[in-house]
Chains A and B, each alone.
Chain A
């Protein structure tokens, strides 16, 4: 084992590794700080956090798990795109192909769908947990607003994805949802026309929902997730109750 560890350390100090990751290996806190600071993704987070925020009871890890769902959804979503045509009625035939032709196709679709439901649930739970902890209070108020935007994006993502199988369940759920839009005064019917590309749910709606679901909404969500994480660091790290008594 010591040989292996030395090999890994040697690899991490090699010229090639350092050209990619900038910081070498090391046990010191400086090296550990650099590992976070010098990485474009990790630098959104702070290099160290208070031990108390890591306790399960503090956050229930709901934010982390929401991100986890999002990552699973991106991965399974990209794979599903390889087998999917956003056209009528081919979209439905593709569902049947996933079921009977594609290896592990059913599993792929199941994982995508259950992860989507889990993400909606987890994001809601995250919102309420943050509220009940009082973690939305200044200086974190704007990050709360970004969180609400992320909740909306999660719902839109789930809703646009709901239509894509083009089965009865999808068609009528979107019909019911888009009819609510029509109740908006003055602009209602126009907004619905814009989103559906027609007066009813049809092939145009499927294509629009597909573009929203696979391109626009995921990109916007990634952007807001990045801001959300960065603001955690800027606002002084995750909220923990200041110690006023010995209970914490």
Chain B
């Protein structure tokens, strides 16, 4: 073995791979696939995952086809701009919004709130509050109790001013359920489960509950003039 001069490598830029066959691969953290090592068992996508997906979709198709055999899509009379039905309702997924319009001026119920909801959904993963998984009451419980009280009180005043009882009731109810987990004595069963839930869980659950309640009221409990009615009276 003889000592030789150390070879010099030069990283040059050239698109002709025959002239400069040397390639340097830079694997930066940003663009590399996220890989974590663990000892989980793996299954092959083909055929196992594809088979399951196909089965799920077929079951769905079967269910929807059965539904379509026995339940007809609604079709009313020809559209007539001169004849306004009372009430005129949007599709069901917008009825929560239409319900809000009943309480708030259009700029709040129709523009501000939906815009805020969409923005809030988009930014969820970029806020630490949503990435934390620690229970809300585990740190600084007294300070957090004060913050919760202030937020719920402010929200309640706002809702009372506009007389939105259908949002006020679930808001107070959920704050009450939150409080069940506040005490350090809550260390077993359901109360412990509540205690371990992070703030993001509570905010989303509040949003989901309110959205469902408003949609159900708008769909089933609103009749002529957007007055409250029983579903069987509509």
Contact = CB atoms under 8 A, between A and B. Distances in A.
Contacts of A35: 46
A111 B42 contact: no
B22 interface: no
Given A168-B79, A234-B33, A176 B204 contact: no
Contact of A168 (B56, B76, B111): B76
A136 B125 contact: yes
A92 B79 contact: yes
Contacts of B67: 110, 114
A92 B80 CA distance: 12
B78 interface: yes
A64 B49 CA distance: 11
Interface string A35-60: 11000001001111111101000000
Interface string B73-98: 11111111101110011111110011
Contact of A148 (B38, B46, B79, B122): B122
A242 B38 contact: yes
Contacts of B52: 54, 61
B45 interface: yes
Contact of B33 (A64, A131, A236): A236
B53 interface: yes
Contacts of B65: 107, 111
B56 A175 contact: no
Contacts of B98: 176, 180
A52 B81 CA distance: 55
B35 interface: yes
A159 B33 CA distance: 37
A52 B40 contact: yes
A46 B45 contact: yes
Contacts of A168: 76-80, 83, 85
A171 B68 contact: no
Given A61-B56, A172-B88, A47 B73 contact: no
Interface in B14-58: 33-36, 38, 40-50, 52-53, 56-57
Nearest to B201: A132
A24 B50 CA distance: 18
Interface in B95-118: 97-98, 101, 106-107, 110-111, 118
Interface in A101-131: 106-107, 109-115, 117-118, 120, 124, 127-128, 131
The secondary-structure label for the interface of chain A is helix
A152 B57 CA distance: 22
A114 B68 contact: yes
Nearest to B94: A177
Interface string A72-112: 10000000000000001100100100010000001101111
A131 B124 contact: yes
B101 to A, nearest CB: 7
B190 interface: no
Interface in A142-195: 144-145, 148, 151-152, 155, 158-159, 162, 165-173, 175-177, 179-185, 188
A145 B92 CA distance: 24
B198 to A, nearest CB: 9
B69 interface: yes
B112 to A, nearest CB: 9
A183 B61 CA distance: 40
Contacts of A112: 73
B126 interface: yes
A169 B64 CA distance: 22
A183 B75 CA distance: 29
B154 interface: no
16 contacts: A32-B47, A54-B48, A54-B52, A67-B57, A68-B61, A136-B130, A137-B125, A144-B124, A173-B88, A173-B90, A177-B91, A180-B106, A233-B33, A236-B34, A243-B38, A243-B40
Given A166-B79, A171-B79, A173-B89, 9 more contacts: A32-B45, A35-B46, A64-B56, A72-B64, A114-B71, A136-B125, A144-B125, A168-B78, A171-B80
Interface of A: 29, 32-33, 35-36, 42, 45-52, 54, 61, 64-65, 67-69, 71-72, 88-89, 92, 95, 99, 106-107, 109-115, 117-118, 120, 124, 127-128, 131-132, 134, 136-141, 144-145, 148, 151-152, 155, 158-159, 162, 165-173, 175-177, 179-185, 188, 200-202, 233-236, 240, 242-243
